[in-house]
Each structure stands twice: as C-alpha cells, then as structure tokens.
C-alpha cells in the first residue's frame, strides 16, 4: 500500500499524533511518501529513525497512491487537493486544528481510526468542485483553476460596494450590489457561504449556491442552482480591479475581465469512517438543531 502525507504546520501538541500515524503505517508495511516541506518540519522537531521518500509538486504524484492523509484542519485539506487534483486518490483528513468539518478523524482517536482505514472499513464521499476561467482564456489562474469550497469575487482596497452582473447559461439573473458574491459547492456550503446566510447543502446534492456578501439590495437572497449551469460574472466598481478567491488562493483581475464558473470535470474522494456521516458531523461540529428539549 502506497500512502502520501501532507501537512502545513507542525504543532508541538500534535507531535504525538504524527508519531502514532507513522508508527501505525510502518507496522502495516505501508510505503509512505511525505510532502517535502512537511517532512523537513517533522525532522526539525523530532529525530526519525526511518528515511522517508518525499514529493514537492503535484507533478510527482500519480495514481499509484492508494491513500492520502491530510494532517491539520480544513484549510490543510483544501491545500491537499491542489496536489491530488484529478488523480482520484482518496483523502483522509486528520484534524489537529480546531473545528475540522472536513477533517473528520479526531487526533485523540488516530490510532484506531488509521487501523480502520487501512482495513478498508470506510466509504468514499465524492465531492464536486468548481472551475474558473476568463473569456480571454489567457491562463490567469494556471493549472490551479479549481476550488472545492467556493469561488468568491469581492471588492479590493475600498469600502465601496461592487456590482456583480450575473448570468446563468447566458441568461441575465441579477446585478448584485454587495461586497461580493460567493459561488459555493455543497462541500463549501458549511463554510464562507453559511456565514453569509447561505443554506447547508448535503455533499451528494448536484447543486451550487450563489450567496451575496453583505448585499445592499435587500431582496437579493442566496440562490441554489443546478450544478450543470454556467455562471458568468462581470464586475464594475470604483476601483479598477477586484479580487477572486479560489478557496484560500487569491487573484486580482481588472474590472473589464469577465469570468466563467462551472462544475469541474473531476471530483475529490473524501474518506469517511463507516461510523461517521455528514449528518452526524453536522450535529457534532455545528451543533445543528441543538436544543435542550432534544
């Protein structure tokens, strides 16, 4: 079994859990390959007897990997997908951060959870993504032109609103007067979109949601749409440019740039233990429907 590992940070209180992960994988005879910078962080804080192979870019990965572990929080998983991309490698998120809505494996249960995963006592939860391109298609976003949570447009260097002229399949929808607009996947519906008043969407739903950020036109509300629609956005503002974020990656585009957003042609496979589910995570992490009468 060939397993990749990625992490962004090395917290002192997570040392024991990283050690448990590596020891469990070694006992199972797994071939382990660790992202280069994360491996250097591990070696910096702890002497490791074993020498591990490493990778630096997504180009060094292929479909020979059976599994990929993401160590951190949800932000680490969003960075992990930029390595895994369209290879279909299942991703298991180990939560050493705070909320960890995507990273459902708790650090305190890491040893038992890893053994369950290696024994294939899990199921895959396919997650849809969104892609972005400009009408000029000059490659402003490069190969990382996709997001698993959301793509958002927002104002830049000003307190003034922007106007987001929005069309669906070339039919005009609305001009949002707002701080910005979020185009969220079902996975991202529990993140930025939710904090701006958007609905929670179950991961398997074939939909996206358009959620305005602090809209001035008060009759503009979040809108759920089928994920086979093409979304076209044109921005006007007092500034000559605006911001586009793909999960945590930010780009600046001139106002005259029209962007097109649609469902990506590939999915990300998230590893979920059989004892877990989206609804259980929603109740546990979001305290969904929490009421003392329940």
Is 189 a known ligand-binding residue?
no
**7 assigned ligand-binding residue:** no
Does the annotation flag 74 for ligand binding?
A: yes
The reply, when asked if residue 197 is annotated as ligand binding, is no
Binding site annotation covers 195? yes
Choosing from 47, 62, 74, 291, the catalytic residue is 74
Find out whether 194 is annotated in a ligand binding site: yes
Q: Any known ligand binding at 214?
A: yes
Q: Does the annotation list 192 as a binding residue?
A: yes
Does the annotation count 74 as an active-site position?
yes
Vertex 151: Cα angle to 173 and 59 (nearest 5): 140
Residue 86 in marked binding region? no
Residue 227 labelled as part of a binding site: no
Q: Tell me: is residue 13 an annotated ligand-binding position.
A: no
Annotated binding site: 74-75, 79, 149-150, 179, 190-195, 214
Annotated binding site for NAD(+): 74-75, 79, 149-150, 179, 190-195, 214
Tell me the catalytic residues: 74
């Amino acid at each position: 079994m060939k397993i990749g590992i990625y992490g962004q940070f090395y917290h002192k209180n997570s040392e024991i859990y990283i050690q448990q992960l590596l020891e469990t994988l070694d006992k199972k005879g797994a071939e382990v390959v660790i992202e280069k910078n994360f491996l250097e962080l591990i070696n910096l804080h702890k002497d490791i007897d074993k020498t591990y192979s490493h990778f630096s870019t997504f180009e060094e990965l292929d479909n020979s990997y059976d599994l990929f572990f993401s160590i951190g929080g949800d932000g680490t998983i969003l960075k992990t997908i930029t390595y895994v991309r369209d290879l279909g490698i299942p991703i298991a998120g180990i939560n050493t951060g705070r909320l960890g809505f995507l990273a459902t494996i708790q650090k305190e249960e890491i040893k038992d959870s890893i053994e369950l995963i290696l024994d294939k006592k899990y199921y895959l939860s396919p997650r849809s993504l969104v892609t972005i391109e400009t009408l000029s298609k000059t490659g402003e976003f490069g190969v990382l032109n996709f997001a698993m949570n959301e793509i958002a447009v927002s104002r830049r260097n000003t307190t003034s609103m922007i106007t987001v002229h929005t069309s669906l399949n070339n039919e005009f929808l609305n001009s949002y007067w707002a701080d910005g607009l979020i185009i969220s996947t079902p996975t991202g519906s529990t993140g930025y979109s939710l904090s701006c008043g958007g609905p929670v969407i179950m991961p398997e739903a074939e939909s996206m949601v358009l959620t305005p950020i602090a809209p001035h036109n008060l009759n503009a509300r979040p809108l759920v749409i089928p994920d086979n629609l093409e979304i076209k956005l044109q921005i006007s503002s007092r500034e000559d440019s605006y911001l586009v974020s793909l999960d945590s990656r930010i780009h600046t585009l001139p106002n005259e740039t029209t962007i097109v957003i649609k469902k990506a042609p590939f999915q990300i496979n998230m590893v979920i233990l059989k004892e877990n589910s989206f609804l259980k995570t929603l109740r546990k992490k979001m305290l969904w429907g929490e009421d003392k009468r329940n």
